[in-house]
Amino acid sequence: MLYFVLKFLHLIGASVLLGTGAGIAFFMLLAHRTGRTETVAAVARMVVVADFLFTATAVVLQPVTGIALAWNVGYSLTEGWILLSLLLYVITGAFWLPVVWMQMEMRRLAETARKSGEPLPKRYHQLFRLWFAFGFPAFGAVVAIFWLMITRPILDW
């Protein structure tokens, strides 16, 4: 029974990471494309909350449930697919942490522009391009981790 609980929690966490990441990117991109300061400010507020509420929670729980699941099944944490998953997880975090800061800064810039009735500033657009670019390696790494979890390939290095 413990195995199924751990597996369920781990799969839910992975799904939250993938789904929240894709959802945040989708809604932030759509808001940005409107060019409307008030839309960007409103969506950026929700995106920051969603990232802290859902993504951050899953980020903390994924290694815990993953290690517990591996131990429960009898996998060594030095197996190639697990090590590669962990490396990709670190890469994801290396891109996600700056993205969280960028989202908070874009939210602040959009709120300031909204309150003053000004258009989104140049700094917002610079951050948006960087935020957008950082999303690709982070999202790609999460998709690769999904593939590794499903296939558990034998990787001998």
Q: Is the dihedral of CA 26, 28, 29, 34 positive or negative?
A: positive
Question: What confidence score (pLDDT) does residue 130 get?
Answer: 98
Question: What confidence score (pLDDT) does residue 157 get?
Answer: 72
Residue type, 51: D
Mean pLDDT, range 39-65, rounded to an integer: 96
Question: What confidence score (pLDDT) does residue 77 get?
Answer: 94
pTM confidence score: 0.91
Q: How far apart are CA 89 and CA 103, in angstroms?
A: 20
Instruction: Take residue 88 and report the two structure tokens written for it.
Output: 């990709």
Instruction: Take residue 65 and report the two structure tokens written for it.
Output: 């449930």
Burial (CB < 10 A; 0-12, 13-18, 19+), residue 1, is exposed
